[in-house]
Amino acid sequence: MGDGADRARSAHMLFQPAPETKSLMPHPALSANGERVLADLHALRAIGAYKSGVHKPTFSQPHLASLQWLVAKLPKAALTGAIDGIGNVLGKSAKAGPKLLAGSHLESQNYAGWLDGPLGVVYALEAARVLNNNASVAGSVEVAAWCDEEGHFGHFLGSRSFVGAVTEADIDAAADRTSGRSMREALQAAGLAGLAREECERGRHIGYLEAHIEQGRTLESEGLKIGIVTSIVGIWQYRITFSGEQNHAGTTRMADRRDAGLSLAKFCVAIDERFPSICGPRTVWTTGRITLDPAAPSIIPGRAEMLFQIRDADAAVVERLQALMMDMADEVNAQARCSVTVECIRKGTPALMDETFQQAIEAASASFADGKSLRMPSGAGHDAQVLATMMPAGMLFVPSIGGISHHWRENTADADIVTGAQVFVDACRRLLAQ
């Protein structure tokens, strides 16, 4: 097991807190069980294994089996719950006192990593097992697995459903981005059609805490163990469609062509040339999918589409970039060779993490991670940004080896996983004690 855990244990033995500061100090009987956390993560990794990662698209058999695995684990954490009508699992506690909501997601990107999502769910489960069963702890941790954080059918469908932001019409319209299967069909096949959807009860929770792998290189490169998330980026997504003229690739002279694919490629390059002058220090943009129609070597494409994303923690920056992109589209249209339309299909709200939650994670890091923590923004989207619209929210990160994620090679050292679990459970304890 990790030496972080050993260090933390010896720190407990040496430390004698004054009575008045007791609730703010590490508590030996209330520590995460690192071996149990690792065993749970490996059990989830074995469901839908792909190389060293997993393939668990939303509502696939391995995703559903992972949700059932979680439901079966809830009673030992003094929680009851089931999979609801949108594929969320919410483990509820009957214990008196304050309730902290914690969790993440269990589906993965296609052929991707084993920790993106499950880490946060297993830490939440561990916190519930440790704290809910201990009579000296006033209050409990409730555990959630939010469905479709990875956006196979929409974006943040599970957590947005929980906060009341998904209508039945949204579900009617949703389809798997890979297979095209409708969400209604997927829910039917999963045996979830017609089941009620869990809804957030205002005032039930003191807040929401989520743990995640960093998915970047900051912690690793600085030799740190815990990221304390200050803000989560907003994600804006666009469908940019170019229309030209489909024609013969051999007989159509270059001067006569209206090649939609070429217009698209030039547009991508122009974005990369022009965005840097007005973007923010951490703005990122990505063309994640390009489709040519037809897509054939001997045909000039008459239509081309790109799915394009901009991320920033400051909505004003994205507004600026969007305005520039619209001007660039006008320039393309003015040239009259190909036409282009820009449609915004996702508008994400950035979220600030709660200061009290950041302090609790920082204090827990001082106790269990030698204070090797850093306040940092999240460039990835997380369900915590949705929950933050309803309650105070916080997030902690553990290091990602090589900063790799959304790839089956994604990994974190066992010792770092265990340290993260210790910090997470202690942060939950501190938040419940406040």
Contact positions vs ligand GLV (CB under 6 A): 150, 380-381
**Residue 259, contacted partner among ligand GLV, Mn ion, none, CB below 5-8 A by kind:** none
**Residue 410, contacted partner among ligand GLV, Mn ion, none, CB below 5-8 A by kind:** none
CA distance 256 to 307: 27
Least distance (Å) from Mn ion to the CB of residue 227? 14
The smaller minimum CB distance to ligand GLV, of residues 130 and 393, is found at 393
* Pairing status of strand 53-54 against strand 373-378: unpaired
CA distance 66 to 59: 10
Least distance (Å) from ligand GLV to the CB of residue 233? 8
- Per DSSP, 83 falls in state B
Least distance (Å) from ligand GLV to the CB of residue 150? 6
Least distance (Å) from ligand GLV to the CB of residue 238? 15
- What are φ and ψ of residue 302, in 5° steps? -90, -15
Give contact residues for Mn ion (rule: CB under 5 A).
116-117
CA distance 189 to 182: 11
The pair of three-digit structure tokens given for residue 296, joined into one six-digit string: 């054939």
**Residue 117, contacted partner among ligand GLV, Mn ion, none, CB below 5-8 A by kind:** Mn ion
CA proximity to 347, closest of 239, 234, 241, 240:
234
**Residue 361, contacted partner among ligand GLV, Mn ion, none, CB below 5-8 A by kind:** none
The pair of three-digit structure tokens given for residue 3, joined into one six-digit string: 């030496």
CA distance 403 to 216: 4
Least distance (Å) from ligand GLV to the CB of residue 41? 18
The smaller minimum CB distance to ligand GLV, of residues 85 and 280, is found at 280
CA distance 300 to 97: 66
Least distance (Å) from ligand GLV to the CB of residue 67? 18
Which position has the token pair 């391995």? 62
The smaller minimum CB distance to ligand GLV, of residues 84 and 148, is found at 148
The smaller minimum CB distance to ligand GLV, of residues 26 and 53, is found at 53
The smaller minimum CB distance to ligand GLV, of residues 27 and 160, is found at 160
Q: Are 332 and 264 in contact (CB under 8 A)?
A: no
DSSP β-bridge partners for residue 211: 396
The smaller minimum CB distance to ligand GLV, of residues 112 and 209, is found at 112
Least distance (Å) from Mn ion to the CB of residue 116? 4
**Residue 381, contacted partner among Mn ion, ligand GLV, none, CB below 5-8 A by kind:** ligand GLV
**Residue 220, contacted partner among ligand GLV, Mn ion, none, CB below 5-8 A by kind:** none
Least distance (Å) from ligand GLV to the CB of residue 64? 20
The smaller minimum CB distance to Mn ion, of residues 117 and 301, is found at 117
Q: Where are the alpha helices (DSSP H) in 349-404?
A: 355-368, 384-387
**Residue 176, contacted partner among Mn ion, ligand GLV, none, CB below 5-8 A by kind:** none
The smaller minimum CB distance to Mn ion, of residues 116 and 126, is found at 116
The pair of three-digit structure tokens given for residue 81, joined into one six-digit string: 């719950």
The smaller minimum CB distance to Mn ion, of residues 98 and 117, is found at 117
> Under 8 Å CB-to-CB from 289, ≥6 apart: which residues?
306, 307
**Residue 240, contacted partner among Mn ion, ligand GLV, none, CB below 5-8 A by kind:** none
CA distance 415 to 169: 45
Residue number of the CB atom closest to Mn ion: 116
The pair of three-digit structure tokens given for residue 333, joined into one six-digit string: 């249209």
Least distance (Å) from ligand GLV to the CB of residue 247? 38
Is the preceding peptide bond at 294 cis, omega within 30 degrees of 0?
A: yes
Q: Residue 378: what residue type? A: S
**Residue 305, contacted partner among Mn ion, ligand GLV, none, CB below 5-8 A by kind:** none
- Per DSSP, 241 falls in state E
CB-neighbour burial class of residue 75 (10 A; exposed 0-12, middle 13-18, buried 19+): exposed
**Residue 302, contacted partner among ligand GLV, Mn ion, none, CB below 5-8 A by kind:** none
The smaller minimum CB distance to ligand GLV, of residues 410 and 416, is found at 410
> Under 8 Å CB-to-CB from 126, ≥6 apart: which residues?
32, 33, 36, 37, 40, 421, 424, 425
Least distance (Å) from Mn ion to the CB of residue 149? 5
